[in-house]
Amino acid sequence: MTSDSGGKQPGPVHDRAMRGLMGGGLVPVCAALGIAVSPRARSLGETFTRATLTTDLVLQDVDRIVHVECERQGGRTIVARMLEYRGAIMRKHHTSRIDQYVVVLGGRRVPSVAGWPWAHPFVTVYLRDLSPEAFLTEPATAPLAALAGRVKARRGAALIAAVRLIDAEGGARRTELLDHTFVLAANGLDRPTIAGIVEEVAMTIESILDIYRDTTLGQAMHEEGREEGREEGREEGREDVLVALLTSRFGEDPRVSAVAASLAQLAPAEALRTVLAAATLDELL
């Protein structure tokens, strides 16, 4: 979520991935996370007026409102922010019951609201406490599998299973779900592990580019592969493609050009896998 009064920064990559994941598979993703909603649940959008608060998910489910926030880590600020979000939702949906959930993708714990007399209770879901198998029943929930469980080897195996499941059964959402999978996996696995898994599941440069085939990145890289010319021109084209990939994953950032120039020195396949394995732009500096 974003706020102009001290909340999270606009558009972190894991937020965009989680919004896309939940937006495309609202009911199964909520069910896999233990958030009980009926098949009639529908998204109500993400932005609220006044403080310009943007939620990760707010949905109408029969006679109640369900609000979900996704956090890379726990931390003390989430308690106050959940109350702020609750107030914004109440102003817009004042006759409905409101149930709130925090889904923690990474490590730290969320403080108990018992220590905050003004806070309102919410349910915290720690993905590390859930079983990877719970998310491997269908492609819509598979991107979360690599964040479940506490054993690194088990999360790695879950990422392999998720990629294979989505590749085989993802259908029209295959490209989107594979992108979400690698974005989210970086919250639970380190870059060398992810890069090794990319190799293990035989993701060639062509199959990686397939994830981005309908984007400017994919079109540019395929065009680069067909073109012939001076090495200098090819290197400049590769930088443009990497700028497009970095911007697509991490948003606009003045450091993107410098990172792209550095990555362009690598072989194309290695550069792409390096970007896929990073959770933030800072990891590539």
Is the same domain home to 175 and 265?
no
CB-based burial, 200-218: b 16+ in 10 Å, e otherwise: eeebebeebbbbbeebebb
Residue 48, pLDDT score:
66
Residue 208 reports pLDDT greater than 70: no
Instruction: Read off the pLDDT band of 20 (50, 70, 90).
Output: confident
- Shared domain for 4 and 76, answered yes or no, is yes
151 and 64 share one domain: no
- The answer to whether residues 174 and 268 touch, using CB atoms and an 8 Å cutoff, is no
State whether 136 and 251 are in the same domain.
Answer: no
DSSP summary character for residue 281 = G
Half-sphere exposure of 38 (CA within 13 A, CB side): 7
pLDDT tens digits for range 140-152: 999 999 999 988 8
Beta-ladder partners of 71: 104
23-50: average pLDDT:
85
81 and 20 assigned to the same domain: yes
Residue 157's domain comprises 131-203
Burial 224-263 (b: 16+ CB within 10 A, else e): beeeeeeeeebeebbbbbbbbbbbbbbeeeeebeebbeeb
Residue range 57-85: mean pLDDT, rounded: 89
Claim to verify: residue 56 and residue 119 sit in the same structural domain: yes
Give the best-scoring range by mean pLDDT among 15-29, 138-152, 237-251, 260-274: 138-152
- pLDDT band for 173, please (50, 70, 90 cuts): very high
> Which of 139, 168, 203 is a domain's end point?
203
Of 203, 224, 245, at which residue does a domain stop?
203
Q: What is the CATH number of the domain that holds 29?
A: 3.40.1350
- Tell me, yes or no, whether 97 and 192 share the same domain: no
Mean pLDDT of 59-86: 88
User: What average pLDDT does this structure show over 144-172?
Assistant: 92
263 and 143 assigned to the same domain: no
Assess whether 102 and 139 both reside in one domain.
no
15/207: higher pLDDT: 15
227 & 271 share domain? yes
At which of 73, 108, 129 does a domain end? 129
Same domain, 245 and 269: yes
Domain count, the chain: 3
Is 2 found in the same domain as 121? yes
